[in-house]
Amino acid sequence: MPSLLCFIDGNDVGMLLERLNADSEIAFIVPDGPLSIEQVHRDRLALAIETFRDEPSLQDKRGITFFGLPDSGYRQRWKAINQVHELTDGKYHLWHIPGGPLPLLTSNGCNQTVANPWEGWVEEHLGMDPSVPYFGPFAVTVIRLELMTRHRPYSQDEKNSLSIVNDFWDREADFLCVSMFEWSGSRGHNKASPATKRWWNRLKAWVGRQATQVSEPPFPVWAFPSAREKLMAGIDYYACGRQITRSVP
């Protein structure tokens, strides 16, 4: 699966936001209620604890999703928008508009397409992560972005108040985690359009101009300017198993 690994910190993320907002071929897929994503996370976690901890028989009563998760019956609404005001840490799905329609997985597993992404739609098939819609593993018009710009460890107040705490920053020292673009490419019967292939190559070229490669071949890892400074200064990091070199000029 094509991927693009980049270190991006809070000072660098504005470059990426400007690049994506200015791209007429890209739309952001965002939640459109009725519940907030944070509430959906909390509700699903609470239901999972209740279902599997004390009474396994509740599995049959409540229903289990394809991924083995309890199904509360709630379905999130999503919509496509041209621009966002900010990019906070988390997962994003980007729709490459010229590449074709967005797939819609129905409750019985049949593939359809979203009629009008700009007006929004209600998901039918739940995915593992409620913060993004589930389009199936080979959605050739969808580019996934997992953004990790934080480097400071959590304060005690954050540990007490945040609904989701990431282990990367549940420590004493600063820590930088790599961000990742992913795209399914052409796999099996799912053929990506030439337009989406060209867009992916343009994204890689843009990253190559804005960032510095900080890993040894053959697995490139890139670092945007501010993140690179932190890496060169010796900050601890995670790069999906890749090793970076601290001696990049």
Question: What's the rounded Cα separation, in Å, for the pair 222 and 207?
Answer: 8
Dist CA 129 CA 126 (whole Å) = 8
Dihedral sign computed on CA atoms, order 185, 102, 74, 79: positive
Rounded to an integer, what distance in angstroms lies between the CA atom of residue 80 and that of residue 25? Answer: 12
Contacts with 199 (C-beta within 8 Å, 6 or more apart), sequence order = 25, 26, 96, 98, 99
Which pLDDT score is estimated for 61? 47
User: Starting from the edge strand earliest in sequence, which strands make up the sheet with 142-147, in order?
Assistant: 121-122, 77-81, 26-31, 90-96, 142-147, 179-183, 3-7, 221-223, 212-213
Chain centroid to CA 220: 20
Q: Contact 90/38 with Cβ under 8 angstroms?
A: no
User: Residue 153 carries which DSSP code?
Assistant: P
Structure tokens of 64? 């289990």
Q: What is the structure's pLDDT at 127?
A: 79
Q: Compute the average pLDDT of residues 3-28.
A: 97
pTM: predicted TM-score of the whole model, two decimal places: 0.87
Residue 29 or 65, more confident: 29
Interval 190-203: pLDDT, tens: 788 999 999 999 99
pLDDT tens-digit series, residues 82-113: 999 999 999 999 999 999 999 998 877 667 89
Q: What is the pLDDT of residue 9?
A: 97
> Cis omega before residue 218 (within 30°)?
yes
CA distance 144 to 183: 6
DSSP 180: E
Given a cut of 50, is residue 35 above it in pLDDT? yes
Token pair of 59 as six digits: 């599995």
| Separation between Cα atoms, residue 248 and residue 114, nearest integer Å | 45
pLDDT tens digits along 151-178: 998 888 888 877 677 788 888 899 999 9
Q: Where is average pLDDT lowest: 138-142, 210-214, 216-220?
A: 216-220
Q: Which has more pLDDT, 65 or 102?
A: 102
Q: Long-range contacts of range 88-91, CB-CB < 8 Å, 24 or more positions apart?
A: 88/147, 89/147, 89/148, 89/149, 89/150, 90/131, 90/146, 90/147, 91/129, 91/131, 91/132, 91/144, 91/145, 91/146, 91/147
- The predicted structure's pLDDT at residue 24: 97
Higher pLDDT, 193 or 51: 193
- The yes-or-no verdict on residue 59 having pLDDT over 50 is no
- Average pLDDT for the chain: 86
Q: 151-177: string of b/e by CB count within 10 Å (b at 16+)?
A: beebeeeeeeeeeeeeebbeeeebbbb
pLDDT at 56 over 90: no
